[in-house]
């Protein structure tokens, strides 16, 4: 037992006062007996004995009364089990990612967690609240009530490690209690490995009852016809036993197609046919799972001709003019001696076909061209300077040419999963007429091959960046060295190489990917592009590059949807943004990583536990009660004991 004011215990010396009074009252006197009272002797002896007992009882009760009063003023208490952490600061981490849209026993997980915080957090408790996107430092439940009630689902995935790093960086003289409320979808070992166990983290993991969910993963142009686009839509089903799901296609909020999907497999693809013109809309489904992944917004720009030039001897580039037809491409060929360098920056794709060397001036121009989103194709000559080409390729990646092999090899393997062959083949072809080359360079490359030889060495490799592609052939494809020009593979390969994915095909950007976007617009020095949606707008980071503008969106916009780029009030082009689909699979709940930490079902359980373990047991009230009881006992003794 401990005392809050132990100095008051010195007043226990006052107990000697009633003892002295008692001794004074018990002084002995000489007794003389008279004849007329002799018969009362026996009665007097009995009365004196009763008086002594009464006085001793009164002394005991008074001593106990005074002792209880003094001890009560000293305020005794039993120290709490965890009193050393009573001054800890509290941090509440609330996961507001899209997976918290899942429904538990009492509704959506996030809304239920917010309600519990509002109902069960003591008003006098100071804490800091951190979500995926918002931080409320050193607040209380009254001050943070409005923020909690208006808390929206965040496009930013729940990254516990980064939130804990913020807490750790928040300097404080006290230890920290951390309460983490998350459904644990996608929670990994790396997220908790740096948690300090001394900071007593608590996990509250609400469980979803409905774990079935269907997600729209992507939209792409499956096939381009003369007057129509065949749009492919990829969907994923997570869970079991799905009912048929309605799927609809909207252009400018106008319904243009609708169908029903039966999920007989986890992955499903459906097709829509739309007119070959600009599109600015979305695909939508209706399911009983999460809602954030039920729409995928996308845009298709007005069909523009792609600018392509080849640099090399004209007779070796004739096959390209048959691929890049005037209906879809602006194609030109230049020899190295007649090349107009000023025209290069206006191109979408540049093909270097069997150059022996790449001049330094051309290398500098091409490096800038690729950095601005241009596609580059390199086809070597048998006389190519390996050192010259390797020096140039070093600007883009780790691919290098080695020695020339003069042996015939068959091209036997197609990488059907490579983006260059996306939507080209309906089925994987295993038996086709293999093209060959008579001589080829040995190439060292860490990048996946697009086409490979029978010995697994690469024939075509692509270095992919966020904005461009550098495609490298390992052998000349002229009619003397190869029959590749007669192969059915050449048309889809060169067609896809020439396409700039940002300008043709489907435009569907992902929020938070930080992928640069290039806009073909000529701006003045002080002009600024603005991105506008139906409800909000923002100005992205931008860099003017001659006749293009490089845009970087970072974590904007906050809301998925269809947007447009404006130069002041003049429309430039359409964009579409979507949320990441990283939390669509609700079966990714990983509670094993928190097995070493304390867990609770509700926030009230944690508050009650902390209060019980850290609050001292005050017992001075009991001594006040005892003092009152002894006072009542004293009065009873005086009144009833004779």
pLDDT reading at 259 higher than 70: yes
Give the burial string for 190-210 (b: 16+ CB within 10 Å, else e): ebbeebeeebbbbbbbbebee
552, 466 Cβ separation under 8 angstroms: no
Q: What is the pLDDT of residues 511-541, one digit of tens each?
A: 988 888 888 888 877 889 999 998 889 999 9
Q: How confident is the model at residue 30 (pLDDT cuts 50, 70, 90)?
A: low
User: Which of the two residues, 284 and 122, has the higher pLDDT score?
Assistant: 284
Going by pLDDT thresholds of 50, 70 and 90, the confidence category of residue 5 is confident
Q: Are 490 and 505 in contact (CB under 8 A)?
A: no
Q: Which of 220-224, 388-392, 453-457, 502-506 has the lowest mean pLDDT?
A: 502-506
Helices and strands in the chain: count of H runs, count of E runs: 12, 38
Looking from the CA of 29 toward its CB, the CA atoms found within 13 Å total: 7
| pLDDT-above-70 percentage for the chain | 89
Percentage with pLDDT > 90 across the chain: 42
| Spatial distance between the Cα atoms of 331 and 258, rounded to a whole number of angstroms | 39
- Between 399 and 77, residue with greater pLDDT: 399
- Using left for φ > 0, alpha for ψ between -120 and 50, and beta otherwise, residue 241 falls in left
Q: Using the 8-state DSSP alphabet, how is residue 425 labeled?
A: -
Do the Cβ atoms of 567 and 521 come closer than 8 Å? yes
Non-local (6+) Cβ contacts of 527 within 8 A are: 567, 568
What pLDDT is stored for residue 227 in this prediction?
85
Top-confidence residue, 191 or 161: 161
Q: Mind listing the pLDDT tens digit for each residue in 320-379? A: 999 999 988 999 999 998 898 888 988 889 999 999 999 999 999 999 998 888 899 999
C-alpha dist (Å) from residue 394 to 71, 367, 470 = 85, 11, 12
pLDDT score at 425: 63
The tokens describing 132, both together, are 């995926």
Q: Are 205 and 599 in contact (CB under 8 A)?
A: yes
The pLDDT of residue 78 is: 64
Mean of the per-residue pLDDT values of the chain: 85
Pick from 42-56, 193-207, 342-356, 591-605 the range whose average pLDDT is largest.
342-356
User: What 3 state SS string does 279-341 have?
Assistant: EEEEEEEECCCCCCCCEEEEEECCCCCEEEEEECCHHHCHHHHHHCCCCCEEEEEECCCCCCH
Euclidean distance between CA atoms 375 and 628, whole angstroms: 94
Which pLDDT belongs to residue 109? 92
Instruction: Quick: pLDDT tens for 406-434.
Output: 999 999 998 888 877 766 665 666 656 78
pTM of the model: 0.73
Domains of the chain: 2-78+619-640 (no CATH), 83-208+589-615 (3.40.50.410), 306-498 (3.40.50.880), 506-578 (2.60.40.10)
**Once rounded to an integer, what is the mean pLDDT over residues 467-473?**
88
């Amino acid at each position: 037992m401990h005392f809050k004011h132990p100095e008051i215990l010195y007043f226990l010396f006052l107990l000697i006062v009633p003892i002295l009074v008692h001794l004074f009252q018990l002084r002995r006197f000489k007794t003389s007996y008279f004849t007329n009272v002799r018969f009362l002797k026996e009665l007097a002896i009995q009365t004196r004995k009763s008086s002594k007992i009464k006085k001793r009882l009164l002394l005991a009760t008074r001593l106990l009364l005074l002792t209880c009063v003094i001890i009560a003023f000293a305020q005794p208490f039993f120290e709490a089990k965890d009193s050393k952490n009573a001054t800890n600061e509290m941090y509440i981490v609330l996961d507001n990612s899209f997976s918290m849209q899942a429904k538990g026993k009492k509704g959506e997980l996030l809304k239920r967690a917010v309600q519990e915080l509002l109902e069960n957090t003591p008003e006098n408790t100071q804490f800091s609240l951190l979500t995926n996107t918002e931080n409320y430092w050193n607040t209380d439940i009254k001050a943070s009530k409005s923020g909690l009630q208006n808390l929206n689902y965040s496009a930013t995935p729940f990254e516990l490690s980064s939130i804990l790093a913020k807490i750790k960086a928040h300097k404080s003289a006290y230890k920290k209690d951390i309460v983490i409320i998350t459904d644990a979808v996608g929670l990994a070992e790396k997220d908790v490995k740096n948690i300090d166990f001394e900071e007593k983290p608590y996990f509250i993991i609400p469980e979803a009852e409905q774990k079935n969910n269907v997600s729209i993963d992507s939209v792409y142009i499956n096939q381009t016809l003369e007057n129509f686009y065949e749009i492919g839509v990829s969907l994923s089903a997570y869970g079991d036993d799905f009912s048929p799901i309605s799927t609809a296609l909207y252009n400018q909020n106008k319904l243009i197609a609708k169908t029903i999907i039966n999920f007989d497999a986890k992955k499903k693809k459906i097709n829509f046919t739309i007119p070959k013109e600009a599109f600015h809309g979305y695909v939508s489904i209706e399911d009983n799972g999460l809602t954030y992944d039920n729409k995928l917004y996308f845009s298709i720009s007005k069909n523009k001709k792609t600018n392509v030039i080849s640099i090399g001897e004209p007779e070796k580039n004739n096959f390209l003019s048959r691929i890049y037809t005037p209906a879809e491409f602006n194609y030109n060929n230049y020899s190295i001696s007649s090349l107009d360098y000023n025209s290069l920056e206006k191109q979408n794709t540049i093909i270097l076909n069997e150059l022996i060397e790449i001049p330094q001036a051309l290398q500098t121009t091409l490096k800038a061209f690729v950095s601005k989103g241009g596609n580059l194709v390199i086809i070597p000559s048998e006389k190519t300077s390996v050192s010259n080409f390797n020096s140039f390729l070093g600007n883009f990646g780790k691919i290098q040419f080695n020695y020339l092999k003069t042996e015939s090899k068959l091209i036997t393997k197609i990488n059907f999963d490579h983006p260059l062959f996306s939507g080209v083949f309906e089925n994987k072809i295993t038996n086709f007429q293999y093209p060959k080359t008579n001589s080829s360079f040995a190439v060292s490359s860490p990048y996946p091959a697009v086409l490979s030889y029978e010995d697994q060495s690469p024939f075509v490799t692509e270095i992919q960046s966020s904005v461009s592609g550098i495609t490298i052939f390992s052998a000349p494809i002229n009619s003397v060295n190869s029959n590749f020009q007669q192969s059915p593979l050449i048309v889809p390969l060169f067609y896809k190489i020439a396409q700039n994915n940002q300008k043709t095909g489907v435009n569907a950007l992902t929020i938070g990917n930080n992928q640069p976007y290039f806009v073909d617009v000529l701006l003045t020095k002080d002009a600024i592009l603005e991105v506008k949606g139906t409800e909000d707008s923002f100005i992205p980071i931008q860099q003017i590059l001659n006749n293009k503008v490089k845009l970087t969106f970072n974590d904007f916009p906050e809301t998925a949807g269809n947007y447009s780029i404006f130069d002041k009030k003049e429309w430039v082009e359409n964009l579409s943004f979507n949320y990441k689909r990283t939390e669509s699979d609700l079966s990714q709940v990983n509670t094993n990583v928190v097995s070493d930490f304390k867990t609770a079902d509700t926030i009230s359980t944690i508050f009650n536990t902390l209060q019980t373990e850290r609050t001292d047991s005050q017992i001075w009230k009991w001594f006040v009660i005892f003092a009152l009881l002894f006072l009542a006992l004293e009065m009873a003794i005086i009144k009833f004991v004779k």
